[in-house]
Amino acid sequence: MIINLIRHGKTKGNSQKRYIGRTDEPLCEAGISELNNICYPLCDVLAVSPMKRCIMTADIIYPHMEMIICPELTEIDFGSFEGKNYIELSGNADYQKWIDSGGTLPFPGGEDLTSFKNRSIDGFMKLYSELPKNCKLSLIVHGGTIMSLMEHFSFPASSYYDNQCGNGHGFIVDFDGKNMRRTGEI
């Protein structure tokens, strides 16, 4: 199966380098404009996170396609860091502990990385099990969701942070049910 892993377009919070996980903000004007300047691959099936930024991105990229909404593919819950950027969190003891852990500690009042990764992987595999294996799938999701899927399924192996992508961009992969082989970038 060919899968287009696409990160949603830019939001105001993304522009300000804020931790935007569960905040359901729309795309900003710059984000909409950027999406209109990228050539996206065609697909047979479109699946999205239920967040406004993903649904708006899907409406722009694939305006006439029906969407499958996948709640499990929602971004990580950043807890007390939600809506803040690194400048605002500077001096916060919990933030410093999280930084010192290499991002492995749970977000205070939010989600831990392992649970988030497992949720993303389980949601993706549930979706995959319901689709024809010869279809072309576009997933419009979050940066963390893409990083989780690529870390788990990439062949050759890669780490979570090796798979970052910009807003409106992502990866084209060939998925055989066990491994994702990157064949291109968006």
Decide if pLDDT at 137 tops 90: yes
Decide if pLDDT at 30 tops 90: yes
23-39 mean pLDDT:
97
d(CA 110, CA 102) in angstroms, rounded, equals 17
Residue 131's pLDDT is: 97
Residue 115's pLDDT is: 95
d(CA 79, CA 66) in angstroms, rounded, equals 32
Output the six-digit token pair for 117: 């990764």
Instruction: Tell me which CATH homologous superfamily contains domain 2-77+113-185.
Output: Phosphoglycerate mutase-like (3.40.50.1240)
Long-range contacts formed by 129-134: CB under 8 A, 24+ apart: 131/1, 131/45, 133/1, 133/177, 134/1
Decide if pLDDT at 118 tops 90: yes
Amino acid at 49: S
101-115 confidence digits (pLDDT tens)? 988 889 999 999 999
Q: At what angle do helices 143-153 and 113-129 cross, to 10 degrees?
A: 80
Residue 59: pLDDT band (50, 70, 90) is: very high
Average confidence score pLDDT of the chain = 96
Residue 98: pLDDT band (50, 70, 90) is: very high
Residue 160: pLDDT band (50, 70, 90) is: confident
Q: Which helix (H) or strand (E) holds 6?
A: strand 2-7
